[in-house]
């Protein structure tokens, strides 16, 4: 099992934010195991105190259970276990191994930061309880001097150890905050994607279309550039849903989406604005050019075969309405109304055709 798989242990079947917290807990758990192991090596080989080294190795193994609890889908227990072991470990370090002059108890500052970052918002009891315990233990260690430490250190060694604790604490705080900031960015991107994208087709949704389409339209007006709106609607879509079921209907929508994406340019804005209704905002495109694109799109949709079974296939068609920017159309919604009128004419004329908006026909 590689490092990435270990970090992702326990994240399956979790929500996006919960998975990120579990992943971060696994990372912190692994880092703590490494740091604790390095301290154990230092105690055994450099300070030549095998008793302290052995005790510290027990704590190193205890930290590994954090990963084990995550792997068995007990994320809350993993976090409680980790912070509990950490606080007991720090207490032993400050009041058994050495004295508080070593600064080990400064690691207690990591506990409130960690619990509020890693526990879910609904887990307030655990966040507050663990933070208060860390606060009490910090002041206990700060004001209690161990007169018989297992390791007797010189003043210079205590000072060096104190500085190492401060250094590691700052590094861990920076690392955790970096991970957390990265998660916030991911969560924000995920929320933006969910808020602006249609979940089935992965096209822009109605809200995003009107928001972004307004900008594109106003830019075309300000720069006196052509701008055309294409509105398309699947023919007899309700009949497809009623006869074959909504899963087949969804297949039709996905196939139409593929056609739209394939034939539109990168800077065109494609969106699903209704059940079976799609719209394409085409900046810097004349009505004649948009009509050619719509014809190709109509033909592709008509030729598309949707498999129902090995022996049966379904075809669907779409009707198109087009409207371009004119002096009369001062807002995007004006253009959409005109395209909708053109679409109505297309449906009245037998469907499966492309109709541009005509002032006389309106």
DSSP-derived secondary structure letter, 204: B
3-state DSSP call for residue 282?
strand
Residue count of the chain: 362
What integer is the mean pLDDT of 225-243?
Answer: 94
Q: What's the angle, vertex CA 183, arms to CA 179 and CA 185, rounded to 5?
A: 120
> Distance between alpha carbon 51 and the CA centroid of its chain, in Å?
46
pLDDT digits (tens, 9 = 90+) for 180-224: 788 788 888 888 888 999 999 999 999 999 999 999 999 999 999
What integer is the mean pLDDT of 287-305?
Answer: 95
| pLDDT higher than 80, residue 360 | no
Residues of the chain above pLDDT 90, percent: 73
Q: Of 276, 277, 295, 310, which one is the catalytic site residue?
A: 276
Higher-scoring residue by pLDDT: 176, 351: 351
pLDDT recorded at residue 117: 87
pLDDT mean across residues, the chain: 91
CB 342 within 8 A of CB 356: yes
Q: CB-based burial of residue 166 (10 Å sphere; 0-12 exposed, 13-18 middle, 19+ buried)?
A: middle
Across 177-290, where does the E strand assignment appear? 227-234, 269-272, 277-283
pLDDT recorded at residue 313: 87
Instruction: Say how far apart CA 332 and CA 238 lie, in whole Å.
Output: 28
pLDDT digits (tens, 9 = 90+) for 20-75: 889 989 999 999 999 899 989 989 998 889 999 999 999 999 999 999 999 999 99
| pLDDT higher than 90, residue 16 | no
- Give, for 165, the enclosing helix (H) or strand (E): helix 155-196
pLDDT digits (tens, 9 = 90+) for 155-172: 998 999 899 889 988 887
| pLDDT higher than 70, residue 359 | no
Instruction: Say how far apart CA 274 and CA 252 lie, in whole Å.
Output: 14
pLDDT digits (tens, 9 = 90+) for 239-274: 999 999 999 999 999 999 999 999 999 999 999 999
Instruction: Say how far apart CA 288 and CA 165 lie, in whole Å.
Output: 72
pLDDT recorded at residue 179: 76
Residue 313 has φ and ψ, to the nearest 5°, of -130, 150
Residue 111 Rama label (left phi>0; alpha psi -120 to 50; beta): alpha
pLDDT recorded at residue 168: 84
Residue indicated by tokens 């206990």: 140
**Contacts for 220 with CB less than 8 Å, ≥ 6 apart:** 226, 227, 283, 284, 325
What integer is the mean pLDDT of 280-293?
Answer: 95
pLDDT recorded at residue 234: 96
| pLDDT higher than 70, residue 362 | no
pLDDT recorded at residue 355: 96
Q: Are strands 318-324 and 227-234 parallel, antiparallel or unpaired?
A: antiparallel
The partner residues of 282 in beta bridges, in order of sequence, read 228
Q: CB-based burial of residue 327 (10 Å sphere; 0-12 exposed, 13-18 middle, 19+ buried)?
A: exposed
CB 226 within 8 A of CB 325: yes
Residue indicated by tokens 């996006």: 16
CB 25 within 8 A of CB 66: yes
Dihedral of CA 270/272/276/278: which sign? negative
The partner residues of 318 in beta bridges, in order of sequence, read 234
* Two tokens, residue 30: 């692994």
What integer is the mean pLDDT of 118-135?
Answer: 95
For residue 327, name the pLDDT band (cuts at 50, 70, 90).
Answer: low
188 is catalytic: no
> Distance between alpha carbon 216 and the CA centroid of its chain, in Å?
28
């Amino acid at each position: 099992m590689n490092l990435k798989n270990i970090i992702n242990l326990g994240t399956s079947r979790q929500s996006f934010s919960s998975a990120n917290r579990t992943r971060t807990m696994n990372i912190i758990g692994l880092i703590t195991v490494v740091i604790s192991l390095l301290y154990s090596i230092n105690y055994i080989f450099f300070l030549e105190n095998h008793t302290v080294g052995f005790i510290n190795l027990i704590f190193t193994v205890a930290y590994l259970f954090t990963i084990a609890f995550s792997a068995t889908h007990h994320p809350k227990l993993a976090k409680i276990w980790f912070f509990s072991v950490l606080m007991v470990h720090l207490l032993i370090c400050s009041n058994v191994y050495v004295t508080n002059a070593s600064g080990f108890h400064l690691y207690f500052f990591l506990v409130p930061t960690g619990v509020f970052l890693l526990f879910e918002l609904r887990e307030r009891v655990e966040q507050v309880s663990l933070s208060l315990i860390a606060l009490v233990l910090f002041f206990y260690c700060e004001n209690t001097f161990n007169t018989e430490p297992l390791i007797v250190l010189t003043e210079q060694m205590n000072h060096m150890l104190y500085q190492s604790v401060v250094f590691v604490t700052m590094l861990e705080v920076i690392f955790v905050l970096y991970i957390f900031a990265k998660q916030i960015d991911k969560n924000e991107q995920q929320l933006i994607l969910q808020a602006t994208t249609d979940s089935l087709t992965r096209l822009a949704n109605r809200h995003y279309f009107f928001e972004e389409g307004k900008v594109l339209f106003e830019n075309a007006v300000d720069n006196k550039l052509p701008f055309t709106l294409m509105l398309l609607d699947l023919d007899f879509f309700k009949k497809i849903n009623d006869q074959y079921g909504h899963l087949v209907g969804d297949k039709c929508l996905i196939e139409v989406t593929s056609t739209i994406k394939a034939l539109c340019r990168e800077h065109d804005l494609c969106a699903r604005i209704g059940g079976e209704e799609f719209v394409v905002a085409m900046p810097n495109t004349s009505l004649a050019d948009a009509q050619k694109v719509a014809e190709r799109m109509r033909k592709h949709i008509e030729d598309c075969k949707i498999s129902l079974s090995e022996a049966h296939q379904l075809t669907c068609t779409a009707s198109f309405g087009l409207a371009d920017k004119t002096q009369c159309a001062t807002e995007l919604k004006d253009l959409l109304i005109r395209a909708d009128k053109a679409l109505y004419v297309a449906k009245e004329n037998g469907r499966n055709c492309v109709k541009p908006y005509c002032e006389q026909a309106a």
